[in-house]
Structure 1
């Protein structure tokens, strides 16, 4: 519908009879009058749109500041603030926290920030009395500073000029300064820069020029709050020189005294020197460029994020990752240069000087890019506005082209700001593993602090030689005294460079390595550790670089004069074990932790909480908020135990029981994974630990023999861990490949084929290895060969099954045959249409459950098995054959509950199975006693019946009983019920001493109790029942009974493999399958 013309009659112009009745009103009469679009309305619309954009940027500033704290140096500042509160207000002259810098002058330029941060932290602690709650107050502090910074930026504008462009420049600056939008002095740098730019902008107008006292007050506080206050001094001196040189028609040339900013710079410098460390304020740029940045680069990095900030722009490392802040900062600098060129005829030299100083500093160190971006945002805004005001008329019109540009342009800007908010919430802007949205300290710091608190509580000496400076921060917070921490200037200046000494000693502590100079020098590390009276060395175990951190731990453990004394999530502690003079050091790693005692012989540590089922990433998690890859403390510890199990199994001598020690570490890893999965079941790293551990345990137990139900339990646990790893990792090719190998090894061919094909779909190369990997060609060839074999066998099974179905065979029986032939996926396609029939048949339901587990639908398998119980009659004794079916169901359901983590349910089912076995055995014997039951119709069958009963009692029952008791034992071991596990194993010797599972039971009993039990069954007690006569009728001669076998050490039951035929079995061998990565 078109709008009425201006000449159209208005409703109010229609004449009405003065005395007549009032006309009836309609809803249309109540609508506001139509008003033509005028330039004034367009202007009002633009002003409102600009205001909305400015407020959107402020909301984004809040969002980007609302992030978790990932900087460990903040812990030292909090400790410093607490120390100053307890020991006087002013900063200490010497270092009170570290071992090596004790007595050395500590120039803490940001001491006042320590007070402020400490006060905020204590205020949060008063509300929550909790470290995590108190840490949230620090995030809120960062939010307040970030909001204030960008609110000040929004006030720096030219009057009566649209601020649309200002909002775009501020948004780019917001991305560029994201690394520093966190609690600490770095956020004060941004606030100081924005305040300085606001004062400089006001100084361009003689009528609004600020007082020199404001400049002095700013730098008085800035220099005491932030060690980078010298950046502000460099900017104001540059601005002062630029203002002094500004003449002619340039902006600001006629705005009062040309020396005003030089005077302001002088006042600012004097104010900055009003400081406990006075002239050291001016020394801070030298400290930064000569000491702090080079030393941080020497360590690789100090924090987990933004490593590019340590490098100048001419270093490839600055550009290697090209993160969002780098891109935004560089783009903003380029746009600022463009606006300066566009406005070159009138640009004040003040702006040119500010641009040169700010970007020169940013070029020299990425650390200064955020501060430079604040300056660039102001310069780009002001010069863009000035150019726009000179180039375009400053009146509005209703022309469609101008309306389209104004409305569409602002709409696109709003969408851009919305996209920025989405990228922040989603995790794309900071990175999935980066500094994410949230309050308080991030998961890395939280778990590390908890871990170091445990390590500190279990040591008699707080002095520590730490491996990295950031771990020194964590130690200080935990009450320990590290060799160094993140205050790099303290340790690198003032005489001996303690950081270089630290790196030299840390290399000397490691075993000799080829091509790594400085390793294996005991004379160096002993001299330094003796000088500082240090006996504990801590190897960091944090970080995602698994190979690097474990290689470091390995090199330290191979030092024969260090002993592994403690392991926790954040670090491993190694104690000095110097060899005696004249005594050669041991040739194997020394372990001061009795892992066997911890895992098998200690007190009960039951853990029966049931974790949730792992879930595949939802659409919400994929596209809105990507989950943070956080690993609970227990999950991290399980990774360390798994590594140590493999390492010690191959390094320890036979006398140190490497196999039992590795087994103990794997049990500890299982317990930690259960605790971790209760907190978060969707951590693929933890499921991979279970995968590796169960593969090793399966191989070890198989070395004692094949024990049906136990072997099935371990295979199911291994496959479940493989499936859960794949499910929670968003189907990574490497997890597909590992699962394909495991499925092929157990004979599930068609499912293995599916996952090999998935590897090809995702990589196009039949292997998850990169094309530059040295084993790429071999892995591709082997996988292609395996795939062809699987395709051939699967097609054959499918053809046979289809032929049987066409012949009218029972589909359930055909599905069973297909499943037994290694095609569970094909069997599932047969069973799924038969759901109404399956739900009424326990045996069919159990087949369906087995198939579901084989294809990875484990939760559905568990639900199916638990639902079968209702199909059994209340009294199974009255239904022939039902007891045997229920026995199968109990075993399958118990295994499914073990996979789920519900050990109580599994133990109840196996206990019930053991009781039913006992009752069935006794009842079968009593029911067939001639005097207690009717005689068989044929008396000649009486001997057969008696023989069958005797065979059942002597052979079948002991085997099944022993198997169930072993399942109970391993279940209780995994979940910390050690006393119950000992009882279960002992019952095997008491009730079924000749069961074939006895060698494995002897091993477990020995490792659980430390007592010696023979793996051989006891000799028949025939000493008093020897025949009196020989077959020829002559009297037999008494023969002494055979000498009983010598007891065998529990570590080496009969049949157990061993590396050197000693008493201790080695680490369980890995199940046969293609090697990792092949």
Structure 2
């Protein structure tokens, strides 16, 4: 509380660490000191988070999965609870992130209010605060990762790691929402959220595994509900109720707690009815000639991934014969929180895809494998491996585009080369190829940029974004890519696709006069 009081007063923050902060009253600072602080201020979270991250915040981790503490660890060898510097810094940044995003939400709300007389000012203020918000989110994530690495190396207690995972849980949740805000604001696009939601879900589960705390289980259930994993959310809520005797972390003596208890009781009842109905439907469908894929379809299409996983695992021998089913199984393992099993299963499939050179018929399998395996590595904290896999995916997608042009060249059609329609058909064919292949490559490269920015590889982020900007000028994510490049380089990038700059006049398409 004292730290945030000083931030909002006449004191200038001049030093910042996990254990302490240094403030100097502004009346004691001369012009030269103020100029130095403005140029090197520790509160420039855009610079530190998005442009020039400090070396100690950039952590490259090997795959790591927490394990629940056993009776021996819990009762016989009780380590002293410790929160290391990385985790403490992450907690500080997470608090700043929360305050910053609350202010951003207020600005966006006011800018969207048709009765607000100062709409333009609020809209401008919201746009100007976007880089600061993004910087704080990434600083929270990087320092939490640093805290995890320090904890693993020093053998600190699980409570410290639980704190780091809580920061990751909340930060990835914020990042998922924030990236959607960016997509809507710059280009009106909806960005795929699978990566971020998987990271948030994994961090929530890991926080609970490390702490065993009922409150962490409650937050896990809330994320499972958001993702519509109904049977898994039901399991978490029932276990939480068993642990605490209620369905809210708030005291039931408060009006807020009583209201939330009532609402969650209704949710629990609906979940129980839904899961029971799906189990009954699967039982009715079962028989000697029942195809397991039918039962899987019933469970999966009704948002019961746990039941779907049960169906697959009744006979694992079929996995060895079916590559696509193996990947579906791994995806279900990720959803159910069996991350190490999913990682091992997916990494073992690399022998099927030693490089990006695959036939056109196998391209979709390679793309799916690289994307799933990238997520499995990202939730295991190995962002470098996830980046490597997505780059391989992008190379395969690019190769497929080139092969399509070579195999079906526009001039291969049997139209008279001098016919007026020939240029139209040629351009139409080329446009169809680009429309079918290019957006997938754009999205893969954008995911590469997202991971690199998260990791702190700013140069690599810029390279990935410029590849999209230069190779596909008319990409639907060009406005967002241009904004990100402008934030990183502090240079202007034109967000307008070239096709939008073609002048259109009323008489452009008028028929020729005879």
Give the TM interval when normalised to the shorter protein: 0.7 to 0.9
> 2:174 is matched with which residue?
696
Residue 789 in structure 1 maps to residue 241 in structure 2: no
- Find 2:231's aligned residue among 736, 739, 750: 750
Once the two structures are TM-superposed, the CA of residue 651 in structure 1 deviates from its matched residue by 5.5
Tell which structure's C-alpha radius of gyration is larger: 1
**Separation in 1, partners of 2:445, 2:204:** 27
8 Å Cα contact 1:608-1:904 kept in structure 2? yes
Distance, in Å, in 1 between the alignment partners of 2:130 and 2:268 is: 35
Residue aligned with 1:627, SS: coil
Match of 1:71 in 2: none
Q: 2:389 aligns with which of 897, 902, 909?
A: 909
Moved more, 992-1001 or 681-690: 992-1001
1:449-460 aligned within 5 A: none
CA displacement 1:714-740 (0-9 Å, x = unmatched): 11011011110111112x211111111
Decide which of 82, 86, 98 is 1:646's aligned counterpart.
98
Residue 858 of structure 1 pairs with residue 336 of structure 2: no
Partner of 1:575: helix, strand, or coil?
Answer: strand
Residue 577 of structure 1: how far off its partner (Å): 2.1
1:676 match: 147
Give 1:625 shift. Answer: 0.6
Map of 1:233 onto structure 2: none
Deviations 1:1035-1071 (A, max 9, x none): 8xxxxxxxxxxxxxxxxxxxxxxxxxxxxxxxxxxxx
Of residues 299, 308, 319 in structure 2, which corresponds to 1:838? 319
Give CA deviations for 1:287-327 in whole Å, capped at 9, x if unaligned. Answer: xxxxxxxxxxxxxxxxxxxxxxxxxxxxxxxxxxxxxxxxx
Mapped partners of 2:393, 2:191: distance in 1: 12
The answer to whether 1:614 aligns with 2:66 is yes
Among 120, 127, 138, the alignment partner of 1:667 is 138
Q: Which stretch has the larger CA shift, 1025-1034 or 880-889?
A: 1025-1034
Shift of 1:924: 0.6
| C-alpha separation in 1, matches of 2:190 and 2:101 | 27
* Counterpart Cα distance in 2 of 1:1032 and 1:655: 47
| Equivalent residues in 2 for 1:677-1076, closer than 5 Å | 677-680=148-151, 682=158, 683-703=161-181, 704-705=183-184, 710-730=192-212, 732-806=213-287, 808-872=289-353, 877-878=358-359, 881-929=361-409, 949-1020=429-500, 1022=502, 1031-1034=510-513
Cα deviation for residue 972 of structure 1 reads: 0.8
Distance 1:655 1:857, change over 3 A: closer
CA contact 2:218–2:236 (8 Å) conserved in 1: yes
Tell me by how many angstroms 1:634 deviates.
0.5
Q: 1:632 aligned to 2:81?
A: no
| Cα pair 1:645 1:665 within 8 Å, conserved | yes
| CA deviation after TM superposition for structure 1 residue 856, in Å | 1.2
- Partners of 2:80 and 2:190 lie apart in 1 by 41
| C-alpha contact (below 8 Å) 1:564/1:593 kept by paired residues | yes
| 1:998-1027 Cα shifts (integer Å, max 9, x gaps) | 23323322221222334442335656x999
Contact 2:252 2:261 in 1 (8 A): no
Aligned with 1:845: secondary structure?
helix
Q: Between Structure 1 and Structure 2, which shows a larger proportion of helix residues?
A: 2
User: Equivalent residue of 1:922, what SS?
Assistant: helix
Q: Is the 8 A contact 1:611 1:677 kept in 2?
A: no
Aligned equivalent of 1:602: 52
Q: 1:564 and 1:816, CA in 2 relative to 1: closer, same or farther beyond 3 A?
A: farther
1:566 aligns to what SS in structure 2? strand
C-alpha distance 813-978 of structure 1, shift in aligned 2 (>3 A): farther
- Quote the offset at 1:567 in angstroms: 2.0
Give me the whole-angstrom Cα distance separating, in 2, the residues matched to 1:904 and 1:873: 18
Q: Which runs of 5+ in 2 are unaligned?
A: 30-40, 108-124, 153-157, 416-421
* Matched residue, 1:575: 24
Query: Whole-Å Cα distance in 1 between the matches of residues 298 and 349 of structure 2?
Result: 22
After superposition, the C-alpha distances for 1:443-479 in whole angstroms (9 at most, x for unaligned) are xxxxxxxxxxxxxxxxxxxxxxxxxxxxxxxxxxxxx
User: Residue 207 of structure 2 contacts residue 216 of structure 2 at CA under 8 Å; is this kept in 1?
Assistant: yes
- CA drift at 1:947: 7.9
CA distance in 1 between counterparts of 2:43 and 2:508 reads 61
Q: CA deviation at 1:603?
A: 6.2
Tell me the TM-score normalized by structure 2: 0.82
Cα contact 1:770–1:776 (8 A) shared by 2: yes
Kept in 1, the 8 Å contact 2:410–2:425? The answer is no
Check conservation: 2:179, 2:191, Cα contact below 8 A: no
Distance 1:895 1:871, change over 3 A: same
Secondary structure of the 2:198 match is helix
- Distance in 2 (CA, whole Å) between partners of 1:771 and 1:568 is 38
CA deviations 1:381-417 (Å, max 9, x no partner) are xxxxxxxxxxxxxxxxxxxxxxxxxxxxxxxxxxxxx
Residue by residue, what CA displacement relative to the aligned partner does 1:33-64 show, whole Å, maximum 9, x if unpaired?
xxxxxxxxxxxxxxxxxxxxxxxxxxxxxxxx
SS in 2 for 1:1019: helix
Q: Which whole-Å deviations, capped at 9, do the CAs of 1:511-530 have from their partners, x for residues lacking one?
A: xxxxxxxxxxxxxxxxxxxx
> For the residues of structure 2 that align with 1:709 and 1:863, how far apart are their CA atoms?
28
Q: Which runs of 5+ in 1 are unaligned?
A: 1-550, 581-590, 936-941, 1036-1078
Q: Is the CA contact (8 Å cut-off) linking 1:1002 and 1:1013 kept in structure 2?
A: yes
Distance 2:329 2:190 in 1: 20
CA distance in 1, matches of 2:190, 2:371: 11
**Is 863-872 or 638-647 further displaced after alignment?**
863-872
1:806 aligned counterpart, secondary structure = coil
Q: Secondary structure at the match of 1:686?
A: helix
Residues 858 and 946 from structure 1, CA distance in 2 versus in 1: closer, same or farther, beyond 3 angstroms?
A: farther
Secondary structure of the structure 1 residue equivalent to 2:13? strand
Aligned residues: 465
Q: Secondary structure at the match of 2:313?
A: helix
Distance 2:322 2:458 in 1: 38
Residue in 1 aligned with 2:34? none
Query: Aligned in 2, Cα 1:620/1:645: closer, same or farther, shift over 3 Å?
Result: same
CA contact (8 A) 1:691 1:718 kept: yes
- Offset at residue 825 of structure 1 (A): 0.9
Instruction: Please state how far the C-alpha of 1:872 moved relative to its aligned partner.
Output: 4.9
| CA–CA distance in structure 2, aligned partners of residues 1028 and 766 of structure 1 | 67
Paired residue secondary structure (2:12): strand
